[in-house]
């Protein structure tokens, strides 16, 4: 059974770059779509970006100018990099695997990484 786990620094300074990694256990990134989603009290749940298992990506226009997602060659990690962070980026960040065959829904979620942007 596929499980996901987010990892990375939980405290990031304003204007710096936030980096998170999602590790896949019980499977690999060889099919389906994989997303980053965040949740904050002010904005609720927001989809950030997804990548297809072949590395093709799609971004939410609200984040596109400062976000990069990628999958590594091991096919068991994919990452999120967000630059120029501000306090508004304080949120719980989730990685998720989409339903397959594609139906635009997030089937498997990580437990979430609570990231605070503060000096």
Partner 1 sequence: EIVLTQSPGTLSLSPGERAILSCRASQSVTSGHVAWYQQKPGQAPRLLIYGASNRAPGIPDRFSGIGSGTDFTLTISRMEPEDFAVYYCQQQGGSPELTFGPGTKVDLK
Contact residues: partner 1, CB under 8 A: 35, 44-47, 50, 58, 60-62, 94, 99, 103-107, 109-112
Q: How far is the CB of 96 from partner 1 (least distance, A)?
A: 8
Residue 20 neighbours by CB under 8 Å, 6+ apart: 6, 7, 8, 36, 79, 80, 93, 95, 113, 115
Q: How far is the CB of 45 from partner 1 (least distance, A)?
A: 4
Nearest Cα to 111, choosing from 23, 2, 1, 5?
A: 5
Nearer to partner 1, 29 or 36 (CB): 36
Nearer to partner 1, 56 or 105 (CB): 105
Q: How far is the CB of 63 from partner 1 (least distance, A)?
A: 9
**Rounded Cα distance, 51 and 24, in Å:** 14
Angle in degrees, CA 115, 118, 119, rounded to 5:
140
Nearer to partner 1, 13 or 45 (CB): 45
């Amino acid at each position: 059974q596929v499980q996901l786990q987010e990892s990375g620094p939980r405290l990031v300074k304003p204007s710096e770059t936030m980096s998170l990694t999602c590790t896949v256990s019980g499977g690999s990134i060889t099919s389906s779509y994989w997303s980053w989603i965040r949740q904050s009290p002010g904005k609720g749940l927001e989809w950030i970006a997804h990548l297809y298992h072949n590395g093709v990506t799609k971004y939410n226009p609200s984040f596109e100018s400062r976000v990069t997602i990628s999958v590594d060659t091991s096919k068991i990690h994919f990452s999120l990099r967000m630059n120029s962070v501000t306090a508004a980026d304080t949120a719980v960040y989730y990685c998720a695997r989409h339903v397959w065959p594609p139906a635009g829904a997030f089937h498997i979620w990580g437990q979430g990484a609570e990231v605070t942007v503060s000096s």
